[in-house]
Structure 1
Amino acid sequence: MRVGTIVWGLVLAALGGLILAVQLTGIRLDAGMVLLGVLIGAGAALVVGGLISVLGRSRNP
C-alpha cells in the first residue's frame, strides 16, 4: 500500500470526525485553522512516510 493513500485516507477520516463532532456537540471551529492543521499534518505524514520508505529500501538490496 502506498503512503499517500494511507495519509489521504486519514485526512478524510479526520475531517469526517471533525464534522461529526461539530454536528453532535455544537462547538464552533475556525475552518481556516482546522484546514491548516490538517494540511500540515498530512504534509508531515507524507514526508515521514516517504523517508521511512526510502530508508527501508536502501537497507534491503
Structure 2
Amino acid sequence: MIFSCLVIPFLKRYGKRAKSLQISGIVIAVKQMYLQNLKKAFLPLKIALASAFFAKKGYDSYIMKK
C-alpha cells in the first residue's frame, strides 16, 4: 500500500517525460540499426570500387578491410 502511494504520484508527474524518453530511445535504436544495415549494403560496392581502382593501378588483388 505504501509502495503504491509513492509510485502513483511519481508516475503521474513524470509519466509523460518517461514516455518521450522511451520513444526517443527507440528512435535512436532504429537509426543505429538503419546505419548498420546501410554500411553492410554499401560494403560490396566499396570493395568493387577499391578492387577496380587497384586493378587499374597495376596491383593484382586488393582485400578491403573495415
TM-score by length of 2: 0.45
Give the TM-score of the pair, scaled to structure 1: 0.48
Greater Cα radius of gyration, structure 1 or 2: 2
